Amino acid sequence: MSKHVAARSGPRVARRSQVAGTSLVLVAALIAASCSGGSDSDGTDSEGSGSTQVSAPATSAQGAGEDTAAEEEGLGTLDWVPCEETSAIAPDKECATLQVPLDHTDPDGESIDIAVARIATSGDDRIGSLVFNPGGPGGSGVEFLDQATAIVPTAVAERFDLVAFDPRGVGASTALDCDVEIDDNVTLLEAGDDAGWDRLLADADDLATDCTADTLELARYVGTNNAARDLDLLREALGDDGLTYVGYSYGTRLGATYAELFPDRVRALVLDAAVKPTDDSHELDLGQAEGFDRALENFAAACDADEDCILQDVGPTLEVLDGLRTEIAEVGEFETDDPDRVLTPGELELGIIASLYSKETWPFLAQAIFVAEAEQDGSLFQVLGDQYAGRRIDGTYDNSQVANGFINCADDPARPDADETRRLADETAALSDLFDDVLRASTGCLGIEPALDPLILGPAEGAPPILVIGNSGDPATPFEWSEAMAEALASAVLFTVDAEGHTAYGSIECVTAPVNAYLIDLEVPEVGASCSDNTDADFFVPAGDSEVDLIITLFDCLRDNGLDIPPIGTADILADPSGEGFTEFLDPTDPAFAAAIGECEDALLALQGA
């Protein structure tokens, strides 16, 4: 979705959603801590989704300090220091840099940096480190650790240091760097649009000038095999004999590859929302074409059946959405709350895709459709798409979209020519009734060098039991992929979840106990084990009862009672997953703050109890 990556727009392998419930947990916790003076950061009990710690993103993984993982500085060591930026709720997030070989076949050659972060456990019965990967490829683990501290149950957080890293090419690690022009540049392609295809080919041809020379060299080494080798060096630097790991989405590919390369160094692997075990990106595109259609249809059916869905009064959901797509195509763009930005047809599609990753985001999708249809206001769609694309509050973008394309292509040995690439994109689009123009705009790996080290697949013979989790309604990694992953790994056990959305552990309550038992005690669920999140699911709560509504109500009350704080709306909250951008106005030392909180106690208690 830069000038080059936009040509690859489409779901592809995806990261765990960061626009859904976990972000709201961070916001609510941050507000509650501000309102109580910041002295209480306790989480929920072991059966809940909270942990004892919440923290804000680190901006640096550099530093010098006491080495807790090795006796000497240099390759393979970790020197932990406080991260440069931490939240008042949890100032104990630590950062370090792990040096690894650029080319693992030349361990004495050039090295690159891997950014690492951890929340050290305060429990007495520490087992070791629990390492996370949030997916992507291209998702930042260092940033995700803030979500992890909010969703990991206390029982696990008390036994493990929580650790995450930015894989090579990503985020604060030695990173891929290309000219990113994402805003207003999400490409759609209608069937038979030869001129549009030629423009996409021209963008692909510009890769050499869009990216730095160092990036083009690094890109040859960013595949999953090398990331797995880095992960093993991280395990060693952490001092763990065996790896304990939770990988979401693409992180399941990384975990499975690690198990194949290092089966004797596995302690426990949770592969949540598994990617199909294949090195053929086209196979993944075909699966996602059907997966996202199914997810949108499930969303529409749930909305049409629930009187609390905001679209109840305007007509069948898919018909309203179809009319909205037609309207924005005719007018070209919708205005947003930001006078310098507009919503384009491609960005509307990106917002829809982003919203399907979690049932927690379904109400925002319904609200976005309602507001856009009624007022031609694209603000909510813009924010939802921004989260998926990696747009920050300051208007810059992370490099997740750039990294996504390069890492996928480093894993895939195929390099079809332009004509074959178009045929494959048309084939994928033909499977989708609802996202065909998005899928048709993929130029695959055109312009990217052939893979040096294509994905290594295998049964991981000799590895201890591996837990694979799949959701029945997952749009990005369809359930069939989890079945295929479990079949491909010799020691895997599949846990089936009847649920909507992408990924389960930390967001679906019925998954908590079996995963906790596996991580802590190595107890594997029985073959055929499952649970349901859909049986009692309430996808659309009454107006005013959602966490977002409760946050807005609290801020309105504080403002009505004398605090000089700006108005906030749903888009403001979704655009700022950490909550720090608008909670900075809450000053517990201000006497006026204490007075306003006294008047707004009911609103605060409602938020804390949500």
The catalytic site residues sit at: 249, 474, 502
d(C-alpha 288, C-alpha 517), whole Å: 31
DSSP 160: E
Look-up of token digits 């749903």:
570
d(C-alpha 544, C-alpha 535), whole Å: 24
CB atoms within 10 A of CB 320: 20
164 within 8 A of 133, measured Cβ to Cβ: yes
61 within 8 A of 116, measured Cβ to Cβ: yes
Written as one string, the DSSP assignment of 314-332 is T--HHHHHHHHHHHHHHH-
Q: DSSP E strands: which ranges in 474-583? A: 492-500, 530-532
Look-up of token digits 């609200």:
367
Structure tokens at 102: 């650029």
Cβ-count burial 378-397 (b if 16+ within 10 Å, e if not): bbbbbbbbbbbbbbeeeeeb
Instruction: State the amino acid at position 610 in one-letter form.
Output: A
Residue 51 φ then ψ, to 5°: -125, -175
Closest CA to 467 of 515, 435, 510: 515
Contacts of 198 (CB under 8 A, 6+ apart): none
Helices (H), 268-378: 281-305, 317-331, 345-355, 362-375
181 within 8 A of 215, measured Cβ to Cβ: no
In three-state secondary structure terms, 77 is coil
β-pairing, 492-500 vs 466-473, is parallel
Q: Is the dihedral of CA 409, 109, 251, 347 positive or negative?
A: negative
d(C-alpha 401, C-alpha 4), whole Å: 10
Structure tokens at 130: 């629990």
d(C-alpha 215, C-alpha 228), whole Å: 20
Closest CA to 401 of 584, 143, 83, 178: 178
Closest CA to 442 of 8, 68, 47: 8
SS3 of the chain: helix, strand, coil, percent, to 5: 45, 15, 45
β-pairing, 334-335 vs 342-343, is antiparallel
What is the enclosing helix (H) or strand (E) of 174? none
CB atoms within 10 A of CB 566: 9
d(C-alpha 545, C-alpha 542), whole Å: 6
